[in-house]
Structure 1
Amino acid sequence: SILAALDAIDAADTSGASGRDRAAGADRGGRFSIRRARIWTPAAIAAVAVFAFVILHGVGGTPPAHAIPPFDVAIDHYQQFAQRFEPNVKSTLPADLSGAYIDHQLPGFLWNFQHSGYKLMGGRIDRLADGSSVAYTFYRGDNGAILCTYMKSHGMQPPGGETQEIDGHHCYQYKGYSVCLSYPHGDFICVLVSRRPMKEFMQDIVDSEP
């Protein structure tokens, strides 16, 4: 639009030009070319800068959070289970799930989200890439779903960037999810994941009885 306006101005300047003015047209054309170049070059640089920012950061977004592998494991399985959950512990009774977890040297206590309107859908025991056991307990309710993941801590300390800490529960907003990290007895971590807003999610945790 700037270039079009300059073209219109130059056209008006030359419409009433005399013969002598026409003789000087080449010089005006040279000045116009320089002016056009001066305008285009910053615009081109700005366009390249915007394009590079979009490629690196995504449209309208902030840079992705620093990767936290246990959180990524929990979120990946939450996404799968939200679509289709296939338990491999053949019972939805808390006592049976607890016994199965203990048999695989995993924590044997369960979160009770019944008071917050969630139903225990069952449990699944798998192995991670390093061969260690992992337990997934899945809950579903009218307000969404919660996944509890038990795995070896391997010395993991609470990462920075937590939004709050309540009674040993470290809360994070991570890749669009509400995440709660806690440390049960032994060398294990518990990662709770939900799509619930953090305030409501933390209330569900506080109201539960592990």
Structure 2
Amino acid sequence: MIKVNKINKTYVNGGTELRVLKDVSFQVEKGEFLAIMGSSGSGKSTMMNILGCLDSEYQGEYLLDGIDISKMSQDELSEIRNKKIGFIFQSFNLLPKLTAVENVELPLIYSGIKKTERYKRAMKLLELVGLKERAEHRPNELSGGQRQRVAIARALINEPSIILADEPTGNLDSKSEEEIMKILIDLNKMGKTIIIVTHEPNIGESANRKIIFKDGEII
């Protein structure tokens, strides 16, 4: 499903160059659960941004379902993100003035889906993550674990084939962490390709395979 070949990424700050990815190459199979691991500054989050089509300033080849992502325009990248990839972030990224169900519906507004269909699909996903009863609550009325479950439902709303999760349990207590990881494992069993970025060994153990970064390289 994913093939990256000799990816290099360099940041330039003033006259100083910092090479954060160095000839990185790997593949991800359809239906795999992959953990990208490493300490802070190892390059794992930079790699995640490239995989999520959020960063196009790199050298090398990135193929997603056989499509050469590295040659796409910003509009084409936006379409790929909307159709193929669901994002889960450490900070949830929910809109505070919207209810849980409205936050889940949000990506469908940009797809031109009618309101009744949006609501129906969003409620089905909130039920999937065990939050149907909290659909009309706003984020400040939900616990951290509940907010992350809303974020997972939102990530699934466009039926993406890939879920990218960047430190999804970083702000959660151990009980909520277990609940979120169980949801991700269940989604993987349903056929979703899951790629999780984490520095926590116990989270990495949930994956089928681990790629460990250090100083911009896979070790």
TM-score by length of 1: 0.25
**Which structure exhibits the higher relative contact order, with contacts defined as CA atoms closer than 8 Å and separated by 6 or more residues?**
2
Q: Which has the higher strand share?
A: 2
Larger Rg: 1
TM-score by length of 2: 0.24
